[in-house]
Amino acid sequence: MGKNARKEFLANIRGRYRKADRKEKGAILAEFCAVCGYNRKYAIRILNARKMAPARRPGPKPFYGAAVVRYLKALWLATGQMCSRKLAAAIALWLPYYEAEGCGLEADVKAKLLFLSPATIDRLLKSARVRLKQKQIGGVESSLPFPIIAFWSDNGSEFLDHHLWRYFARKEKPPLFARSREYKKNDNAHVEQKNWTHVRQLFGYDRIDKAGHIPAMNEIYKLWGQRQNYFSPAR
């Protein structure tokens, strides 16, 4: 008899054993030992043992609940996905405007948001950052007119991590995964120059801060990127 089957048999027989008189207990005990192969004294001990409560996860109870994480994620996205150090300082500045938009905050949630440290922000946003990165990579991949057969990543942790590697490794035909050489910044020289040819040459250096311009810019940039990537020589 397997371990799970013995546990199930014990759960079924324990109540009957405790309610039985002395003579019936002897018969139940003999049956239990014969079926499970237990020593008699060990069988008596586990039949009389109290049912253990489910083990509680070690450590203190979570201090920041789902509401805090939800509002923190919304603020992080609204601030342009600031790093945790900047976001910890910006929360107090952004909260009044966030509340003015009709997103009422409970007092305890607001207090916890203002109490967040950069390390805690990193921990609470970890899963959201992973999902966003995978979504962005998937969006880039779906826009390409060809399958990805190789992926060259920068060495920075903002680019290269095990989540990115796992995204490609789990594919039916994983692409070749490579990275730049350590301490060789010029490996990506021809990629970095595209900040000019693909971005600044099109939109210039002026600050564009009107949300209404974003849809038109995205449409223009989509066509511009296709022209530059697929119909112009590159190195």
Q: What is the pLDDT of residues 180-235, one digit of tens each?
A: 777 776 666 666 677 777 788 888 888 888 888 889 988 888 888 888 777 777 66
- Please classify residue 228 by burial: count the beta carbons closer than 10 Å to its beta carbon, then call 0-12 exposed, 13-18 middle and 19+ buried: middle
Q: Are residues 183 and 203 in the same domain?
A: no
Both 146 and 177 in one domain: the answer is: yes
Q: pLDDT band at residue 124, thresholds of 50, 70 and 90?
A: very high
Residues 185 and 147 occupy one common structural domain? yes
Q: Is residue 14 situated within a structural domain?
A: yes
Asked if residue 70 and residue 115 are part of one domain, the reply reads: yes
Query: How far apart (Å, rounded) are the C-alpha atoms in residues 152 and 148?
Result: 11
Average pLDDT, the chain: 81
- Is it the case that residue 90 has pLDDT exceeding 70? yes
Indicate whether 58 belongs to any domain.
Answer: no
pLDDT by residue (tens digit) across 2-35? Answer: 777 788 878 888 888 888 888 888 888 888 888 8
> Which tokens go with 150?
């190789």
Residue 35 domain boundaries = 3-48
Domain presence at residue 34: yes
Whose structure tokens read 């190789």?
150
Question: Does residue 47 have a pLDDT over 90?
Answer: no
The predicted model gives 66-91 an average pLDDT of 89
Q: Residues 49, 54, 57, 60: what is their CA dihedral angle, to the nearest 10 degrees?
A: -80
pLDDT bin (cut points 50, 70, 90) of residue 116 is: very high
> Do 79 and 102 fall into the same domain?
yes
Q: Please give the residue that has the higher pLDDT: either 56 or 133.
A: 133
Q: Do 164 and 183 share a domain, yes or no? A: yes
Q: Are residues 134 and 107 in the same domain?
A: no
Q: How far apart (Å, rounded) are the C-alpha atoms in residues 194 and 196?
A: 5
Same domain for 203 and 172: no
Q: Which residue has the higher pLDDT, 92 or 183?
A: 92
73 and 104 within one domain: yes
One-letter amino acid for residue 235 of the chain = R
SS3 assignment, position 124 = helix
**Which tokens belong to 114?**
């203002």
Q: Of 99, 124, 149, which residue sits at a domain end?
A: 124
Is pLDDT of 161 > 80? no
> Of the segments 102-111, 161-170, 195-204, 217-226, which one has the largest average pLDDT value?
217-226
Closest CA to 235 of 180, 189, 183: 189
In three-state secondary structure terms, 195 is helix
Is residue 21 in some structural domain?
Answer: yes
The count of structural domains within the chain is 4
Task: Map tokens 């950069």 to a residue.
Answer: 118
Q: Specify if 118 maps to a domain.
A: yes
> Does a structural domain hold residue 181?
yes
Contact yes or no for 108/135 (Cβ under 8 A): no
pLDDT of residue 117: 93
Q: What is the pLDDT of residue 9?
A: 79
For residues 78 and 109, membership in a common domain is answered with yes
Residue of higher predicted confidence among 104 and 1: 104
| pLDDT beyond 80 at 108 | yes
Task: Give the pLDDT of residue 54.
Answer: 59
Question: Are both 92 and 70 inside the same structural domain?
Answer: yes
